Amino acid sequence: MAFRLKLVPDETKFDFFRYQVYTFGLSAVLMVLSVIVLLTMGLNFGIDFRGGTTIRTESTTAFDIGEYRSALDGIEGIGDVSITEVFDPTFGEDRHVAQIRIGSVEDTEAMTPEQISDVETALKEVDPNVTFAAVESVGPKVSGELIKTAVYAVLAASVGILLYIWMRFEWQFAIGGVVAIIHDVLLTMGIFAALQLRFDLSTIAALLTILGYSINDTVVVFDRLRENLIKYKTLPLIEVMNLSVNETLSRTVMTAVTTAIALTAMLVLGGDVIRGFVFAMLWGVIVGTYSSVYVAKNIVLWLGVNRDFSKPDPDALPEQFRESP
């Protein structure tokens, strides 16, 4: 017998609906909490969405944020400045990175080259070793549009997925799938607001991936459910659902673990530039897996399913196909 690593036993008979009041309640509470956090704390929008300038500085010597700040205070015509030091396990002893964010003041334009070079000279004065690894500037006119397209993208993707599931399954499944998506997106935005992680264009890409991943997971369960509904015509819906989730459980766990392994590698070793993005995806994999097991099905259960979809409605058939009485 060969050794096999199995996180899930061959046959499981978990009753996924036993605690449905709690699991669904937890989801509902987390969704409400996310909305509250989003409304009260708000998202920490990056310059993509808020306009402004970010400058990433690198220095071989340790620097003092206060010194940087006072160096920039004197410059005219720039907005409010926030400076954060970036720490990363992959940085060596002689690498000190800061992220400087300057709010936008002009109406439509990105920062002028003069302003940027003023900032650079001022920083060079307090820290001669400083280099500028990246300078990015977005005008407020564009940033507003970027938010709009981002929201459209998430909406359009949801609608596309809704239509596809509707076509392939039944409308109840489509609603269940989309509620699961909303659940995942909301919870991800909630954690971004709660931890005040930077929310920018890459985060939107991450959100859309979460959406794809979560629905992928949900569809695999749905697919099995559809199959079992035809196989076990008399079994109550709730039991067919339990059976289907149990049957697909080892696959769900397996895929979640492989994806999590890959993303964790990226989170730890992929560098700080992309960390927020990878964090969003990792969180999304966890939430997405949870939602396909605990959210999507509950909705379908509540809505009920037409169990007879294997057998067409006799009245809808043309004359010659009707069974003679």
- The angle at the Cα of 42, spanning 36 to 45, to the nearest 5 degrees, equals 150
Q: Does the footprint of other proteins cover residue 213 (CB under 8 A)?
A: yes
Q: How far apart are CA 301 and CA 299, in angstroms?
A: 5
Q: Does the footprint of other proteins cover residue 286 (CB under 8 A)?
A: no
Residue from 229, 281, 296, 299 binding other proteins (CB under 8 A): 281
Q: Does the footprint of other proteins cover residue 59 (CB under 8 A)?
A: no
Residue from 25, 160, 236, 312 binding other proteins (CB under 8 A): 160
User: Do 211 and 157 meet the contact criterion of CB atoms below 8 Å apart?
Assistant: yes
Q: How far apart are CA 37 and CA 26, in angstroms?
A: 16
Give the CA distances from residue 145 to residues 48, 142, 148, 150, 325, in Å, rounded to whole numbers and listed in that order.
Answer: 10, 5, 5, 8, 64
Which range in 70-78, 236-244, 271-279, 309-317 contacts other proteins by CB under 8 A? 271-279
Q: Does the footprint of other proteins cover residue 67 (CB under 8 A)?
A: no
- The angle at the Cα of 207, spanning 201 to 211, to the nearest 5 degrees, equals 150
Residue from 211, 240, 241, 287 binding other proteins (CB under 8 A): 211
Q: Does the footprint of other proteins cover residue 35 (CB under 8 A)?
A: no
User: Per CB under 8 A, which of residues 128..147 are in contact with other proteins?
Assistant: 131-139, 141-142, 146
Residue from 72, 102, 180, 278 binding other proteins (CB under 8 A): 278
User: Per CB under 8 A, which of residues 15..34 are in contact with other proteins?
Assistant: none
CB of 229 to other proteins, least distance (A): 14
Residue from 69, 124, 255, 301 binding other proteins (CB under 8 A): 255
Q: List the one residue out of 191, 205, 196, 194 whose CA is nearest residue 274.
A: 205
Q: How far apart are CA 275 and CA 88, in angstroms?
A: 10
